[in-house]
Amino acid sequence: MKFKQIKEGEVKFFVPVGRKYDAAIFYNEDAELTRDISVCALQVFADSTDKKINVCDALSASGVRGLRYAKEVKGVGKVFMNDVTQSAAKLMKKNISLNKLQKKCTVTRSEASQLLRQNIYGAIDLDPFGPPVQFLDSTAKSAFHKGFVMITATDTSALAGAFPAACLRKYGIKPIKTEFYSELGMRILITAIIFAFARYNKTFVPVMAFPHTHYYRVFGRVEHDNILDDTLKKMGYVNYCSFCGERSFGKNQENHCVNGKEHLMRSCGPIYLGPINDADFIEKVLADLRKRDFKKRKEELKLIDTLKNETDYLFYYDLHHLGKIYKFSVPKFDELINKLESRGFKAVRSVFSDKAIRTNAKLKDILGILC
């Protein structure tokens, strides 16, 4: 097997090259952005505690993520880099030596769920290829009660409604096809995480969540169960009419749309309808990101700055989708936002879609401007 040495962040590491190599040590170059932001997010969490954090990178592959936490995040104690395959463990040891991180990094070779159930960690990174659901219970059991969790899902097509049966089978929720499919998928993922932690009398509190290419990435604090009831009260249904784009929230509303009795509103839930982004946390991530010299810094700053300005108004409006329904030409986004604000509403762009706005205006208010 052939290898090449590359650099990401402050670490150097070997990755396999060529057509024939072990998929267990696959290096995803496209995920560099999520790793950069994860470094900043973990730093913000580390700054909030006076204890050294032990980090578990449960599905390490080449080990780049764990290496970067050990090298670039102040306040990290030990980093446990785990993978079940011998080839991954061998490569991780090689990369640890290359960066002289033997004192901070420990390689374990175990099935991830088994490892997590046997230990407690201050921070856990779960970055599987595909759905994370099979690891959620063990992650919940392993997470320290005042810890930090970072979770990736790559099965976005199932979560977003393209394969409802697969989503129901994996996450216990059947999605519906909507214009705001990206956010709906993210909230289904967060719901599954919250319920997994609830089973262990812990509360998962999302503080930052965003999509990137074919990823969903969620960051959250772990709290005691004294706020769990308040979190569970934020579960509800989203109701959507595919004919006119109308939506409502809260109760299951599998009935006729308010805009036409011949059309039904389909419901999805129960899902988490509470805030998924903490403005203070994101502001601190943005401040930390500005201090770093990442290769994708410009793109990352734009994403996090947009995320910071997003409100918690539920589910964005896709203007191109509405334009097809109501036969209007989509205006410049800034012009529409200004018109909405002049009428007393709030409106911002969304990281979930470059064709969308997020606003507290109702559908009829938006159409009153556009039609």
Instruction: Tell me the three state secondary structure of residue 311.
Output: coil
What pLDDT is recorded for position 206? Answer: 97
What pLDDT is recorded for position 279? Answer: 94
Same domain, 248 and 346: no
Same domain, 132 and 220: yes
If one counts the domains in the chain, the total is: 3
The pTM of the full predicted model, rounded to 2 decimals, is: 0.95
Same domain, 134 and 249: no
Same domain, 103 and 174: yes
What pLDDT is recorded for position 221? Answer: 98
Same domain, 219 and 253: no
Same domain, 304 and 362: no
- pLDDT tens, N- to C-terminus, the chain (371 residues): 788 899 999 999 998 876 555 556 778 888 999 999 999 999 999 999 999 999 999 999 989 999 999 999 999 999 999 999 998 999 999 999 999 999 999 999 999 999 999 999 999 999 998 899 999 999 999 999 999 999 999 999 999 999 999 999 999 999 999 999 999 999 999 999 999 999 999 999 999 999 998 899 999 999 999 999 999 999 999 999 999 999 998 876 667 787 876 788 899 999 999 999 999 999 999 999 999 999 999 999 999 999 998 877 899 999 999 999 999 999 899 999 999 999 999 999 999 999 999 999 999 999 999 98
Same domain, 197 and 211: yes
What pLDDT is recorded for position 170? Answer: 96
For position 156, which CATH number holds? 3.40.50.150
Same domain, 120 and 258: no
What pLDDT is recorded for position 55? Answer: 98
What pLDDT is recorded for position 130? Answer: 87
Same domain, 209 and 286: yes
What pLDDT is recorded for position 25? Answer: 73
Same domain, 21 and 150: yes
Q: Pick the last residue of a domain from 309, 335, 359.
A: 309
Q: Is residue 96 within 8 Å of 107, Cβ to Cβ?
A: yes
For position 350, which CATH number holds? 3.30.56.70
Same domain, 108 and 243: no
**321-330 contacts: CB < 8 A, separation 24 or more?**
321/179, 321/245, 321/355, 322/179, 322/245, 322/366, 322/367, 322/370, 323/370, 325/243, 325/244, 325/245, 326/367, 326/370, 326/371, 328/370, 328/371, 330/355
Same domain, 305 and 336: no
Q: Which residue range forms the structural domain that includes residue 347?
A: 316-370
